[in-house]
Amino acid sequence: MALTNKISIAVKVELFGTPRLAAGRRELELVLPAETSRQEFAAALAEACPALVGKVIRDDLSGLQEGYVLNLNGLAFLNGDVLHVQDGDAVLILSNQAGG
């Protein structure tokens, strides 16, 4: 995986629902550039947890499958192309199918 020459930060990735079942774990740590694109995030996640590829991460590692959204620290949803995350943040991977 080729990360750009930006400052690297450590974030916790929390998995919910299908991602948790697929990964067999509730969370993992990633080291990312501070200004991370969705593609960079997906690639780093795939490297840390290959079991998510296909089910949660697109096969070409270009991003997450369409059924998922990202949330920052349980508060804001990350909808932009660039993920503005900081060292120590938690990035939640959730289904986009809210409620029920």
Q: Report the interface residues with another protein, using CB under 8 A.
A: 14, 16-18, 20-21, 65-67, 69, 71, 73-79, 92, 94-100
* Residue 2 CB, nearest approach to another protein (Å): 28
* Residue 87 CB, nearest approach to another protein (Å): 18
Q: Which is nearer to another protein, 8 or 38 (CB)?
A: 38
* Residue 46 CB, nearest approach to another protein (Å): 17
* Residue 51 CB, nearest approach to another protein (Å): 15
The CA R_g of the chain, rounded to the nearest whole Å, is: 12
Q: Which is nearer to another protein, 62 or 96 (CB)?
A: 96
- 14-50 burial, b for 16+ CB within 10 Å, e for fewer? bbeebbeebbeeeeeebebbeebbbebbbbbbbeebe
Q: Which is nearer to another protein, 8 or 22 (CB)?
A: 22
Which residues on adjacent β-strands are paired with residue 30? 11
**Rounded-to-integer distance, Cα 33 and Cα 71, Å:** 17
**Rounded-to-integer distance, Cα 4 and Cα 19, Å:** 27
